[in-house]
Amino acid sequence: MTIEAFLAILLAGLSLLLLLVSLISYRRIGNVKLLFVSMAFLLFFIKALVLILSLLFNTWSEFGMRWELLLLDVIIIVMLYLSIARK
């Protein structure tokens, strides 16, 4: 497994998990800000799915995505998590 595949799968998993958590929080609290956070996580999840599919079908080079950019996406996801998870 390449570093790109690992980071794309990590991005998909984290964004899906955080999407679910933020939607549950939105239903519980009803704050519109959480809905926007949920949409951000949804977009990250869709992006990760596209990247995983591009790896599976060998069209990775068409996207021009490098592992450094995927790492940046993972860091952004973690920072978003920390912003909503901290009390």
> What gap in Å lies between CA 24 and CA 38, rounded to an integer?
10
Per-position b or e across 41-79, b if 16+ CB within 10 A of its CB: bbebbebbeebbebbeeeebeeeebeeeebeebbeebee
* pLDDT at 60 (0 to 100): 63
Q: Where are the beta strands (DSSP E) in 1-87?
A: none
* Residue ranges of domains in the chain: 3-85
Q: Express each pLDDT in 42-56 by its tens digit.
A: 888 988 888 888 888
> What gap in Å lies between CA 22 and CA 3, rounded to an integer?
28
Q: Which of 85 and 56 is assigned the larger pLDDT?
A: 56
* Angle (deg, nearest 10), helices 67-85 and 3-29: 20
Q: Express each pLDDT in 5-46 by its tens digit.
A: 888 899 899 999 989 998 998 899 988 888 888 888 888 898
* pLDDT at 28 (0 to 100): 93
Residue 62 pLDDT class (50, 70, 90 cuts): low
